[in-house]
């Protein structure tokens, strides 16, 4: 018979994303509703290792649903990579009698959770808190909608000045390993080209397209580049274009960390709340090492190691849409 979980720890790990606070709030209040104790673990796995663990009440999460970032803070913990660090973290959890964990983060956070749970038999529930939307098993990740809307708002403003000056702008968005922000923001803003890590970038084809557009007097162009694109990001792309098309007015804009901050969108608040609620339900039902996602607007549960191993894939149809709509 499964041992009943009575005390839950919740942490945010890896890169911050808008909606993490809404998720923490949902975990805390759902746990309290069911008569469980809940503890916030500060600074991700670092807080587990260093015993920065605080008991949370309903008022602990008041007035945070609209805030970006994470009240629990986040960090990357090298000590947790080692067995001794994980053992220390386990001893700290036992000190507080914590017998279940909710981890809000990305695939790196889930790898750590999977290993930790296998070694010390602590049930872990993973929730996708990442702006990159690169985790299999869910149609949404907490923070993606806000981040992509931030990018769209910025690119729309850049298009205004591009139009005023007849310029080509190369805009870099976040996405070291995944191109979803670039893809969605590029389609939403009518970008002429979208460069992402998942697809091979053939710069000669882009130069041919730009030369043809220049011939047709279409001088206003937007190229959206994911930071992890194989060609090397916006600066490298702009440099190549200037060399091949010296008459083009080329400018670079790197949006950077503004995509991570800001008040979460309605969608991010709602999905974060749903995921947080169901994470607690999973622990109460005795589910061990589960990733909680949303697929086709229904809750989805897959083994945590599957979420770690698999990546969301961008279909060729998306790139066909980009090519047709930008022509």
- DSSP letters, 61-109, are GTT-TT--S-TT-----SGGGSHHHHHHHHHHHHHTT--EEEEEE-HHH
Tally of CB atoms within 10 A around 97? 10
Tally of CB atoms within 10 A around 315? 9
SS3 at position 254 = strand
132 is catalytic: yes
Residue 282 CB burial class (10 angstroms; 0-12, 13-18, ≥19): buried
Sign of torsion over alpha carbons 162, 163, 164, 165: positive
Q: Which residues contact 43 (CB under 8 A, 6 or more apart)?
A: 50, 52, 72, 73, 74, 75, 77
Helix (H) or strand (E) holding 22: helix 20-33
Q: Check 99, 132, 229, 268 and give the catalytic one.
A: 132
Catalytic residue IDs: 132
């Amino acid at each position: 018979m499964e041992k009943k979980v009575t005390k839950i720890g919740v942490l945010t790990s890896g890169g911050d994303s808008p909606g993490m606070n809404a998720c923490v709030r949902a975990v805390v209040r759902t746990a309290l509703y069911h008569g469980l104790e809940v503890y916030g673990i500060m600074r991700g796995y670092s807080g587990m290792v260093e015993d920065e663990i605080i008991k949370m009440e309903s008022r602990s999460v008041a007035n945070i649903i609209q805030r970006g970032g994470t009240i629990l803070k986040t960090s990357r913990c090298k000590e947790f990579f080692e067995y001794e660090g994980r053992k220390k973290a386990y001893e700290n959890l036992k000190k507080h009698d914590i017998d279940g964990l909710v981890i809000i983060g990305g695939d790196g956070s889930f790898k750590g959770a999977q290993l930790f749970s296998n070694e010390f038999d602590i049930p872990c529930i993973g929730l996708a808190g990442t702006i990159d939307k690169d985790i299999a098993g869910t149609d949404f990740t907490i923070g993606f909608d806000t981040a992509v809307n931030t990018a769209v708002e910025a690119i729309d403003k850049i298009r205004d000045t591009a139009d005023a000056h007849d310029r080509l702008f190369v805009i870099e968005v976040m996405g070291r390993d995944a191109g979803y922000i670039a893809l969605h923001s590029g389609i939403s803003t009518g970008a002429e080209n979208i460069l992402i890590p998942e697809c091979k970038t053939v710069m000669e084809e882009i130069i041919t397209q730009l030369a043809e557009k220049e011939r047709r007097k279409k001088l206003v162009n937007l190229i959206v580049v994911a930071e992890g694109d194989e060609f090397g990001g916006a600066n490298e792309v702009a440099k190549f274009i200037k060399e091949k098309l010296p008459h083009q007015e080329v400018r670079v804009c790197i949006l950077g960390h503004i995509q991570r901050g800001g008040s979460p969108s309605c969608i991010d608040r709602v999905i974060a709340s749903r995921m947080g609620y169901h994470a607690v339900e999973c622990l109460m039902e005795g589910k061990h090492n589960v990733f909680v996602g949303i697929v086709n607007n229904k809750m989805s549960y897959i083994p945590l190691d599957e979420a770690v191993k698999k990546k969301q894939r961008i279909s060729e149809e998306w790139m066909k849409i980009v090519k047709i709509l930008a022509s």
